């Protein structure tokens, strides 16, 4: 075990985690140059296109150190985006140490701090790494000051590297051997292994990613999953080296995989403990906090006969994404679908894109909303995330909405712009402090519903990309909430309904009506699009009808003849309006979610 090191690479978005993983993989020669490709651990198309990591991936790096001993370095590459921080916490639970990567030109950012605190909660050994030292704008001394002042780490320990050019990669491998502690555990004790991830292979079933803390495991053993007391016979164990490499056995301290003919991933819960049936351990390992969804949206197939395909696709996607939750839902306008819970808007976009690409589905999503607590007059508490279930306002005593504590790190020249953005979103300024002479951290308490819409995009644009943002949910507070209904041709469309704050309702209603006006195709009759709260209309726009010139064939003659034709046309349009149905295209549902810029 003294030859094993388990470590993770954590950092803010775009500070170079995946590129550094590439260089470490190339440095130990487990992939031939012919098979190598950039971001080799990002194996989803969507990850490669967006340039982000969504799933954390592990790889075992065999490394011969300067003392001529062979070491096995288990590296887990993690995502940087706040929506996927649950992936980071799961990766850290299976490590003893972490490299905290900091961009030499950007310095310490919000997610850097958040990830540092997460690593400290797991009592990990943390080594700072200053990356991108080859950039013309790199300022190593400034970053070293930030490491000391903002993070409280020793800047002299910081390893300088450039993942792009490969400078300093040897120092990172040596640093892992020298500074990181070997795993503790005992291979003679009963087996205790932690599931930190799993994915589905259509040929072999569920492949469980595990970290062994005690004991040994080999093919042929019968394992017990402690969460649901299920027993399975192990077919194969091994380690990850880009591809799966089978091994005779796994022992305490190692990170690897288990194949045991498990049909569904829902049987293997992340954070569950695996032990042997014949010699079980005393108790389970401490697992992970449940990933709690914060944004809710309904997903419907465009064609109503696509419901079964959507159900199958969601079940398969859930196999690889444990944090996705869904339940059946129905809508008068869109038929049958699913109400899904997501960890944030990026998570929602990723799930939508994966469903459309990997399973070839056409989908409609409703406006995202958060979870509200509604206290009724009779003292009953309802928890609602779907506007369709909003009760009669006369029966409600008060409504509570979730609040978050947002930490925003920006250069001080943007302080005024950020302040006005947050106050405009009903934020409360708690405090701010200078981290260095020109960078400050601003703490706000904001309603989560205001963040969901377009807050992050606005923050990035007003700070010219320098603002970084991290948040945690703190509590529920009383609010003045109303249900905004959208009426098209006098009929409510339940899938377009939104729960909004009373102050923002008129503005949100106008925006929705204007967007829909551009998307709904013209008919032979006038279509009214209205925003309503209860029985009160607060906004309206009109799709004007096609005009047919019925008087074109009348040359001269009596005016009464023209009048008669126009009157006949008016009656026809009126009758058409009564029976005519307005088809709402898919793009109309999506347009309501988008902002003007």
Please answer whether residues 469 and 459 qualify as being in contact, where contact means their C-beta atoms are separated by less than 8 angstroms: yes
Phi, psi of 578 (to 5 degrees): -70, -35
DSSP secondary structure, 328-376, as one string: EEEETTTEEEEEEEESSHHHHHHHHHHHHHHS---EEEPPPB--EEEEE
Give the C-alpha separation, 212 to 254, whole Å: 6
CA distances from 536 to 16, 482, 487, 591, 595 (A): 53, 12, 12, 24, 25
Residue 133 annotated in ligand binding:
yes
Residue 299 annotated in ligand binding:
no
Q: To 5 degrees, how large is the angle CA 223–CA 226–CA 229?
A: 80
E strand or H helix at 511: helix 502-519
- The SS3 of residue 60 is strand
Residue 19 annotated in ligand binding:
yes
Residue 18 annotated in ligand binding:
yes
Residue 17 annotated in ligand binding:
yes
Torsion angle, alpha carbons of 487, 363, 471, 385, to 10: 50
Burial class (CB in 10 A: 0-12, 13-18, 19+), 505: buried
DSSP state of 455: H
Give the C-alpha separation, 501 to 508, whole Å: 10
Residue 429 annotated in ligand binding:
no
E strand or H helix at 579: helix 559-579
- The SS3 of residue 51 is coil
First CA to last CA across the chain, in angstroms?
Answer: 55
Please answer whether residues 578 and 524 qualify as being in contact, where contact means their C-beta atoms are separated by less than 8 angstroms: no
Phi, psi of 121 (to 5 degrees): -60, -30
Alpha helix locations (H) across 240-344? Answer: 307-320
Residue 178 annotated in ligand binding:
no
Residue 596 annotated in ligand binding:
no
- The SS3 of residue 421 is helix
Phi, psi of 490 (to 5 degrees): 85, -5
Give the C-alpha separation, 256 to 254, whole Å: 6
Give 531's strand partners. Answer: 486, 539
| Residue 170: how many other CB atoms lie within 10 Å | 13
Give 10's strand partners. Answer: 100
Give the C-alpha separation, 180 to 200, whole Å: 32
DSSP state of 2: T
Report the binding-site residues for GTP.
14-19, 131-134
Report the binding-site residues.
14-19, 131-134
């Amino acid at each position: 075990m003294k030859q094993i090191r388990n470590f993770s690479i954590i950092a803010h978005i775009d500070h170079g985690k995946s590129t550094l993983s590439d260089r470490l993989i190339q440095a130990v020669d487990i992939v031939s140059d012919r098979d190598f490709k950039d971001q080799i651990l990002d194996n989803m198309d969507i990850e490669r296109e967006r340039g982000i990591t969504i799933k954390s991936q592990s790889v075992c790096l065999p490394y011969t150190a300067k003392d001529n001993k062979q070491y096995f370095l288990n590296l887990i590459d993690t995502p940087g985006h706040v929506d996927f921080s649950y992936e980071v916490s799961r990766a850290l639970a299976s490590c003893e140490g972490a490299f905290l990567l900091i961009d030499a030109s950007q310095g310490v950012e919000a997610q850097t701090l958040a990830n540092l605190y997460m690593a400290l909660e797991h009592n990990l050994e943390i080594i700072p790494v200053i990356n991108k030292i080859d950039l013309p704008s790199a300022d190593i001394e400034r970053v070293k000051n930030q490491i000391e002042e903002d993070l409280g780490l020793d800047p002299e320990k910081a390893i300088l590297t450039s993942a792009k050019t490969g400078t300093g990669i040897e120092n990172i491998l040596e640093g892992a051997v020298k500074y990181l502690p070997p795993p503790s555990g005992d291979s003679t004790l009963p087996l205790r292994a932690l599931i930190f991830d799993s994915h589905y292979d259509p040929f072999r079933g569920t492949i469980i990613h595990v970290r062994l803390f005690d004991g040994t495991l080999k093919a042929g053993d019968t394992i017990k999953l402690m969460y649901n007391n299920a027993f399975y016979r192990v077919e194969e164990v091994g380690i990850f080296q880009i591809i799966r490499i089978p091994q005779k056995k796994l022992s305490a301290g190692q990170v690897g995989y288990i194949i045991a003919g498990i049909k569904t991933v829902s049987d293997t819960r992340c954070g569950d403990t695996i032990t042997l049936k014949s010699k079980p351990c005393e108790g389970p390992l401490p697992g992970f906090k449940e990933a709690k969804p914060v944004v809710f949206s309904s997903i419907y197939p465009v064609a109503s006969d696509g419901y079964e395909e959507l159900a199958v696709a969601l079940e398969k996607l859930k196999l690889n994404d444990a944090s996705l939750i869904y339940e059946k839902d129905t809508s008068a306008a869109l038929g049958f679908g699913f109400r899904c819970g997501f960890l944030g808007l990026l998570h929602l976009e990723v799930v939508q894109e994966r469903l459309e690409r990997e399973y070839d589905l056409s989908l409609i999503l409703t406006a995202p909303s958060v979870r509200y607590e509604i206290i009724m007059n009779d003292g009953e508490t309802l928890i609602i995330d779907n506007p369709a279930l909003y009760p009669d306002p006369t029966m409600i005593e008060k409504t509570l909405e979730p609040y978050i504590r947002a930490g925003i790190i920006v250069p001080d020249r943007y302080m005024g712009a950020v302040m006005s953005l947050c106050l405009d979103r009903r934020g409360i300024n708690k405090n701010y402090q200078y981290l260095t002479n020109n960078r400050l951290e601003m703490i706000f308490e904001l309603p989560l519903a205001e963040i969901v819409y377009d807050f992050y995009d606005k923050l990035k644009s007003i700070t010219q990309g320098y603002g970084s943002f991290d948040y945690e949910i703190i509590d529920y507070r009383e609010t003045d909430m109303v249900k905004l209904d959208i009426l098209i041709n006098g009929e409510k469309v339940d899938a377009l309904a939104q729960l909004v704050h009373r102050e923002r309702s008129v503005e949100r209603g106008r925006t929705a009506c204007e967007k829909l006006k551009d998307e709904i195709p013209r008919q032979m009759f006038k279509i009214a699009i209205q925003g309503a709260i209860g029985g009160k209309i607060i906004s309206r726009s009109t799709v004007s009808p096609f005009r047919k010139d019925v008087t074109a064939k009348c040359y001269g003659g009596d005016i009464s003849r023209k009048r008669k034709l126009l009157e006949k046309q008016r009656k026809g349009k009126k009758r058409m309006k009564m029976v005519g149905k307005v088809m709402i295209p898919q793009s109309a549902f999506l347009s309501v979610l988008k902002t003007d810029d």
